[in-house]
């Protein structure tokens, strides 16, 4: 690529050194273009995967390499060094094959690169995800086994890839050890074929926690701990609730279940209050306060609960093994003085009703509610609601809030609400009642209004009133006092719903100050005053001019302008006679038009003298009539004035004679006639058209031409001119017809002679009487010259030889010649003879009036010369910017031609200075001729460079092409790019590196490989031709952004219900994540987890993306996805499954059992069980499927014979269920 430059050839001789033009050598080729078929790949753990790479390279690439980027660490992959792991990555097979995919070592970003002689191209990154995980191992339950029995601890293994070993572990004293199952007398199974473990002949040493593990190629998965309970220990004593609540004065049963073997022999309770312990036993307890606490019914019933019963309780059960105790339970006795809440302040409009809100929360229930009114001195007086129902409502147990009807100022005070229950009385905080109300607020829209007389106007009034206003009225200032408006159908509005006042058909009497008033139950409010001004006047009428003039018979418009407020309704014109009397113009006369409201000017058609006079224009509106000033109309016109130039004319017989006539006429003449008088004989000379005797005598040519005059044409002549007014007659002119002047003719009217030649101009004369003299005259340029016969230059021109001979003709002899002959009558003249002397200045023309040449090319401006006599020199002039320069043809490096033999101009290597107008000149002995100007345009400029967009955005790690479009004439020979970061100076981008591609003449667009954040900058494209350098007018900015987040989630294999669990979420994001969301998936439906409104959830934030659930409930079982969002998009993890495990109900017991009651007594039985989650209960009678109760306590009032029998209590949770029975016996009275 170093050869890609401009080259110049030089040659030297003894005179000096010459050089060629510049030649650019373009070496084609770029670094390879490398691409990976997919941005992501996925491979199951242990399988092989091919990362496809394609390479396009010119010249052909010579090597291929791969890189692995894992956690920011870059590793070069060399398959030849590790053939068991990798294949490919060669020139012929650039794709990379990864064998036995492993998540820990192979899950990463990968890049493919290829190198040729130009440089190295790198692909964008691709990410390989290795799917598969350690085995999921589950023990679905805890187990219970009697000593000496066998138990199967179920283990299920789900594994991808398949597990290869199963191992059981035992936990003792928090130490976990492998279980040796080789002793077949103690254990069975627990292996790869059957992972469940069978414990044979259970002993107390077998009781404990067990864990099942399974291992595959990914790792080892472990189950949750499962507890194997070997029964035959001290009793399990359980209180199912941690807290009991009882209302003050009520009874409560603290349930206790005692299970186990051997059987219970003693039951008692311990009460701890204020650190003092009290033992409660059936044999010593106060039966009026307690019941229960027996072997059959270990639960404790506390009667008539009070504050002394608030304590911590434990239940104890003893058998021969030892003493079992329950967890403690807290008894709360609920009851206190009522809680009474009210609003702190209330506002009511005078006369309205208001409710003072009071809420009462009381345990025990309130027995009384009342309201008190507190005076300013602090004295509290009960509000008597009962005896004043029209004033008050509420203030009772069912409706504690107090409603006050028709609030008055006397009700404004401080109030309290009080409530009483068995515990005591509570008085609320004070409520301040504010009774509000004022006179209406009345506002006027404007301080002043203006209306044209006769129009409608609305005076805006707005009213704000509390209480609402009931009356609205208006007053007007009359003699300084605002007085109610008198009733008039011209007034509307002034009402409660429409307080504004509308006045129609306004008159001057409406002018004045107005006020708006509004009244409510408090009083009357008034507005500020507003002024109403009624405007209007008679029309103002003007005529455009004080005087008009018109030719008689023409039309005239007398202009009239009317300005009227209110608008005028009629217009008329009057004519004023000499006595000053005005008479209306009769507009029914078709000669008059206009004089209308929209067209007030008066148009008079076909004017007559009688129209001359004074006129006025009048306009009327609702106020009156306005009149313009007078204007005077002059009607112009008279009979023509006719004159003849001479009183006497003389004409030779047979000649033509013109009798001159001129006239002035207004109006214009319409006809011209002549008359001839001989004595009393008067002859009218009529129309001369198509008359061989006469000519002229027309309006345009009034003079009379008499052809071939004869004696009969002698006489006195008059010229008569007629117009629409009449006929004007000239004075008399006399015509005398005498003999003939010579008749001179020339047989040839035009001659041509070459310069220096001779020519004879022929002339023939016929004369009666005979002519006595012949001479010639030459007319050139308006000058007349009589030819002097000198025997040298001129000969002839005599009575005998009237022709004129001109010798040695020159251009000065060219002209018009006349031959004259004179006799006693006069002088006759020939018609003109034109002599042309041939031989001119050269005729010079350009072959093209406009030419275009590309910058740097040669051009010839063609010039054609035609010359007689032949031209002897040629030269050129150049005209540019108003300056004219004669071209120096001695500059042979720039110009050629411009000679007599080759008049065309050759311009070598045209540049912008040659763009101009050119003129070609040629000279001969006659003079110098020149061509018209020819324009030479030099096409070409610096290249026009454009970048289509002001900004591009690209993700990190991908390739970016910034387009560059170039239009260049002459063709550009170089392309380069600059990069500008921030306020630093722009730097040229190097070509031929592995970081960049393109940016050359054939491929001007810039390719940035494997974009990094450092590539974020402003870029500009430049192109160079022989004219100069062009760049994009708007550089582009490359915005480098990150990628959507990469999100992974993981979770323990199983979680016990009630335990906390953290579902781990790992987010890798550039730019950083801005939001984290978790989704819960059940039945293939996703829902967003509301972490903020559920106190069991924590985490799920940008800072802590992992989700913690505490405690785990059965509803939490399902799949979870972690979702992360950054500026580039949103990505989510693969779902992970939360498996919840717990314990089915165990230790079921009914207390008391069996049950014996007397007829009519209450049957009470308490069912207890342990389980995770806590079980629910169902009671049924044996032989029936009907559920009697869903409470753990079965109560049957008024026991009857039908109630005897066997009752079943069923304990249920999501882990399973269990049943226990008891027998009920009813004794009859």
Task: Say if residue 844 is in the same domain as residue 931.
Answer: yes
Task: Say if residue 1131 is in the same domain as residue 1146.
Answer: no
For residue 459, what are the CA distances in angstroms to 487, 565, 566, 603, 662? 17, 21, 20, 46, 78
Concatenated DSSP letters for 953-995?
Answer: EEETTS-EEE--EEEEESPP-EEEEEEE-TTSPPEEPPSSSTT
pLDDT < 70 positions in the chain: 1-6, 8, 15-16, 21-28, 232, 320-321, 1229
Tokens encoding 1085: 């439906």
For residue 1128, what are the CA distances in angstroms to 108, 953, 1044, 1046? 20, 11, 5, 12
Cα–Cα distance between 1153 and 1167 in angstroms, integer? Answer: 10
Task: Please tell me the predicted confidence (pLDDT) of residue 760.
Answer: 94
Cα–Cα distance between 1075 and 1088 in angstroms, integer? Answer: 13
Backbone angles phi, psi at 609, to 5 degrees: -60, -30
Residue 19 domain-assigned (yes or no):
no
Residue 5 domain-assigned (yes or no):
no
Task: Say if residue 126 is in the same domain as residue 40.
Answer: yes
Task: Please tell me the predicted confidence (pLDDT) of residue 27.
Answer: 64
Show which of 1126, 1141, 1156 is a domain's final residue: 1141
Residues in a beta bridge with 737:
651
Task: Say if residue 1035 is in the same domain as residue 1071.
Answer: no
Task: Say if residue 895 is in the same domain as residue 929.
Answer: yes
Task: Say if residue 652 is in the same domain as residue 730.
Answer: yes
CATH number for the domain harbouring residue 808? 2.60.40.10
Contact 887, 875 (CB under 8 A): yes
Residues in a beta bridge with 1036:
1019
β-bridge pairing 336-342 and 345-349: unpaired
Tell me which residue range forms the domain holding 328.
Answer: 234-334
The 3-class SS string of 627-647 reads: ECCCEEEEEECEEEEEEECCC
Task: Say if residue 547 is in the same domain as residue 594.
Answer: yes
Tokens encoding 338: 């009522």
Residue 21 domain-assigned (yes or no):
no
Closest C-alpha among 1116, 1140, 1215, 1118 to residue 1174:
1215
Cα–Cα distance between 86 and 50 in angstroms, integer? Answer: 10
For residue 375, what are the CA distances in angstroms to 341, 382, 410, 437? 20, 11, 11, 22
Task: Please tell me the predicted confidence (pLDDT) of residue 399.
Answer: 93
Residue 751 domain-assigned (yes or no):
yes
What is the number of structural domains in the chain? 12
Contact 286, 277 (CB under 8 A): no
Task: Say if residue 655 is in the same domain as residue 621.
Answer: no
Ramachandran region of residue 682, left (φ > 0), alpha (ψ -120 to 50) or beta?
A: beta
Residue 10 domain-assigned (yes or no):
no
Show which of 508, 532, 556 is a domain's final residue: 532
For residue 429, what are the CA distances in angstroms to 340, 358, 415? 8, 10, 9
Closest C-alpha among 83, 113, 109, 112 to residue 98:
83
| pTM across the whole model | 0.29
Cα–Cα distance between 202 and 629 in angstroms, integer? Answer: 139
Cα–Cα distance between 853 and 855 in angstroms, integer? Answer: 6
Tokens encoding 367: 């027995």
Contact 1199, 1163 (CB under 8 A): yes
Contact 1143, 1215 (CB under 8 A): yes
Task: Say if residue 446 is in the same domain as residue 513.
Answer: yes
Task: Please tell me the predicted confidence (pLDDT) of residue 370.
Answer: 95
Residue 526 domain-assigned (yes or no):
yes
Closest C-alpha among 67, 217, 214 to residue 155:
214
Show which of 823, 838, 853 is a domain's final residue: 838
Residue 1 domain-assigned (yes or no):
no
Task: Say if residue 832 is in the same domain as residue 851.
Answer: no
Q: What is the CA radius of gyration of the chain?
A: 65
Task: Please tell me the predicted confidence (pLDDT) of residue 22.
Answer: 65
Task: Please tell me the predicted confidence (pLDDT) of residue 150.
Answer: 86
For the chain, give the number of residues. 1229
Cα–Cα distance between 625 and 137 in angstroms, integer? Answer: 113
Residue 496 domain-assigned (yes or no):
yes
Cα–Cα distance between 1073 and 1103 in angstroms, integer? Answer: 9
pLDDT, tens digit, 9 for 90 and up, residues 1063-1088: 999 998 877 889 999 999 988 889 99
Task: Say if residue 404 is in the same domain as residue 351.
Answer: yes
Task: Say if residue 243 is in the same domain as residue 329.
Answer: yes
């Amino acid at each position: 690529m170093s050869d890609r430059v401009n080259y110049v050839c030089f040659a030297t001789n003894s005179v000096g050194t010459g050089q060629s033009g510049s030649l650019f050598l373009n070496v084609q080729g770029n670094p390879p273009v490398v691409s990976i078929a997919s941005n992501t790949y996925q491979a199951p753990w242990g399988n092989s995967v091919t990362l496809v790479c394609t390479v396009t390279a010119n010249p052909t690439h010579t090597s291929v390499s791969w890189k692995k980027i894992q956690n920011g660490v870059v590793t070069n992959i060399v398959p030849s060094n590790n053939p068991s792991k990798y294949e490919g990555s060669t020139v012929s097979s650039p794709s990379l094959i990864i064998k036995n995919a492993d998540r820990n070592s192979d899950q990463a970003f990968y890049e493919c690169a290829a190198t040729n002689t130009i440089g190295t191209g790198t692909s964008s990154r691709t990410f390989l995800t290795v799917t598969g995980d350690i085995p999921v191992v589950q023990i679905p339950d805890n187990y219970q086994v009697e000593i000496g029995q066998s138990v199967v601890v179920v283990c299920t293994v789900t594994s991808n890839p398949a597990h290869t070993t199963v191992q059981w572990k035992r936990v003792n004293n928090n130490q976990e050890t492998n279980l040796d199952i080789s002793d077949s007398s103690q254990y069975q199974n627990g292996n790869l074929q059957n992972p469940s473990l069978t414990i044979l002949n259970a002993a107390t040493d077998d009781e404990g926690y067990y864990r099942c593990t399974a291992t595959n190629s990914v790792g080892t998965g472990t189950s949750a701990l499962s507890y194997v309970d070997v029964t035959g220990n001290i009793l399990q004593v359980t209180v199912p609730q941690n807290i009991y609540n009882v209302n003050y004065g009520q009874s409560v049963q603290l349930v206790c279940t005692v299970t186990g073997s051997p059987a219970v022999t003693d039951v008692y309770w311990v009460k701890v209050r204020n650190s003092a312990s009290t033992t409660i036993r059936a044999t010593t307890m106060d039966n009026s306060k307690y019941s229960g606490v027996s072997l059959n019914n270990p639960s404790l019933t506390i009667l008539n609960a009070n504050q002394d019963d608030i304590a911590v309780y434990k239940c104890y059960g003893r058998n021969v093994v030892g003493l079992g105790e329950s967890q403690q339970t807290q008894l709360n006795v609920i009851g206190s003085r009522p809680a009474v809440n009210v609003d702190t302040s209330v506002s009511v409009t005078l006369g309205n009703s208001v409710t003072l809100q009071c809420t009462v929360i009381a345990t025990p229930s309130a027995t009384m509610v009342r309201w008190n009114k507190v005076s300013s001195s602090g004295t509290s007086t009960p509000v008597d609601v009962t005896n004043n129902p029209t004033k008050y409502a509420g203030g009772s147990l069912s409706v504690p809030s107090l409603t006050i009807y028709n609030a008055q100022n006397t009700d404004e005070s401080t109030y309290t609400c009080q409530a009483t229950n068995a515990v005591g009385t509570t008085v609320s905080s004070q409520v301040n009642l504010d009774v509000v109300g004022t006179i209406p607020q009345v506002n006027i829209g404007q301080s002043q209004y203006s209306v044209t007389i006769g129009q409608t106007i609305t005076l805006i009034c707005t009213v704000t009133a509390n209480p609402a206003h009931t009356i609205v009225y208006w007053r007007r200032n009359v003699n300084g006092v605002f007085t109610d408006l008198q009733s008039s159908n011209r007034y509307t509005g002034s009402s409660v719903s429409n307080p504004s006042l509308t006045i129609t058909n306004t008159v001057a009497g409406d002018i004045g100050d107005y006020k708006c008033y509004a009244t409510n139950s408090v009083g009357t409010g008034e507005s500020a005053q507003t002024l109403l001004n009624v405007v209007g006047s008679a029309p103002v009428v003007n005529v455009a001019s004080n005087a008009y003039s018109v030719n008689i018979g023409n039309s005239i418009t007398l202009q009239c302008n009317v300005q009227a407020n209110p608008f005028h309704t009629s217009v008329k014109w009057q004519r004023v006679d000499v006595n000053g009397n005005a008479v209306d113009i009769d507009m029914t006369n078709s000669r008059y038009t206009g004089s209308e409201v929209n067209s007030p000017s008066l148009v008079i058609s076909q004017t007559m003298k009688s129209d001359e006079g004074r006129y006025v224009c009048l306009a009327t509106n609702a106020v009156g009539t306005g009149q313009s000033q007078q204007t005077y109309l002059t009607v112009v016109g008279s009979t023509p004035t006719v004159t003849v130039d001479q009183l006497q004319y003389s004409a030779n017989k047979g000649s033509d004679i013109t009798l001159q006539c001129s006239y002035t006429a207004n109006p214009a003449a319409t006809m011209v006639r002549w008359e001839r008088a001989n004595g009393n004989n008067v002859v009218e000379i009529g129309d001369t058209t198509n008359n061989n005797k006469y000519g002229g005598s027309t309006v345009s040519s009034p003079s009379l031409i008499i052809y071939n005059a004869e004696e009969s044409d002698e006489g006195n002549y008059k010229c008569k001119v007629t117009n629409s007014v009449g006929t004007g007659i000239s004075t008399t002119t006399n015509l005398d017809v005498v003999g003939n002047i010579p008749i001179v003719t020339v047989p040839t009217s035009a001659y041509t002679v070459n310069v220096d030649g001779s020519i004879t101009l022929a002339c023939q004369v016929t004369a009666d009487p005979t002519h006595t003299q012949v001479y010639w005259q030459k007319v050139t340029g308006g000058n007349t010259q009589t030819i002097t016969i000198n025997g040298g230059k001129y000969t002839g021109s005599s009575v005998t030889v009237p022709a004129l001979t001109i010798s040695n003709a020159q251009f000065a002899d060219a002209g018009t010649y006349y031959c004259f002959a004179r006799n006693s009558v006069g002088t006759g003249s020939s018609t003109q003879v034109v002599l042309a002397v041939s031989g001119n200045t050269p005729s010079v023309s350009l072959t093209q009036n406009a030419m275009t040449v590309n910058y740097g090319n040669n051009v010839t401006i063609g010039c054609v010369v035609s010359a007689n006599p032949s031209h002897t020199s040629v030269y050129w002039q150049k005209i540019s910017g108003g300056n004219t320069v004669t071209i120096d043809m001695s500059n042979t490096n720039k110009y050629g031609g411009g000679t007599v033999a080759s008049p065309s101009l050759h311009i070598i290597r045209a540049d912008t200075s040659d763009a101009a107008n050119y003129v070609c000149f040629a000279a001969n002995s006659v003079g110098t001729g020149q061509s018209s100007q020819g324009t030479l345009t030099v096409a070409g400029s610096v290249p026009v460079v454009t970048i289509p967009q002001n900004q591009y955005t690209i993700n990190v790690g991908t390739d970016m092409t910034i387009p560059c479009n170039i239009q260049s004439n002459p063709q550009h020979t170089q392309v380069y790019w600059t990069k500008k970061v921030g306020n630093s100076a722009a730097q040229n981008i190097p070509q031929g590196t592995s970081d960049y591609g393109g940016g050359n003449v054939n491929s001007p667009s810039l390719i940035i490989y494997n974009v990094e954040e450092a590539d974020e900058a402003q870029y500009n494209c430049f192109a160079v031709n022989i004219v100069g350098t062009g760049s994009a007018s708007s550089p582009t900015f490359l915005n480098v952004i990150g990628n959507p987040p990469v999100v992974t989630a993981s979770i323990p294999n199983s979680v016990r219900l009630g335990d906390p669990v953290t579902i781990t979420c790992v987010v890798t994001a550039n730019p950083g994540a801005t939001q984290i969301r978790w989704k819960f998936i059940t039945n293939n439906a996703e829902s967003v987890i509301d972490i903020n409104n559920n106190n069991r959830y924590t985490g799920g934030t940008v800072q802590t993306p992992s989700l913690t659930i505490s405690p785990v409930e059965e509803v939490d079982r399902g799949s979870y996805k972690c979702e992360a969002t950054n500026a580039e998009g949103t990505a989510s993890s693969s779902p992970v499954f939360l498996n919840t495990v717990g314990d089915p109900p165990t230790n079921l017991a009914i207390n008391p059992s069996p049950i014996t009651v007397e007829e009519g007594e209450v049957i009470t039985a308490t069912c207890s069980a342990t389980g995770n989650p806590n079980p629910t209960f169902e009671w049924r009678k044996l032989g029936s499927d009907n559920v009697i109760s869903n409470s753990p306590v079965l109560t049957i009032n008024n026991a009857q014979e039908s109630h005897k029998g066997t009752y079943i209590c069923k304990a249920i949770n999501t882990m399973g269920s269990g049943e226990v029975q008891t027998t009920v016996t009813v004794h009859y009275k």
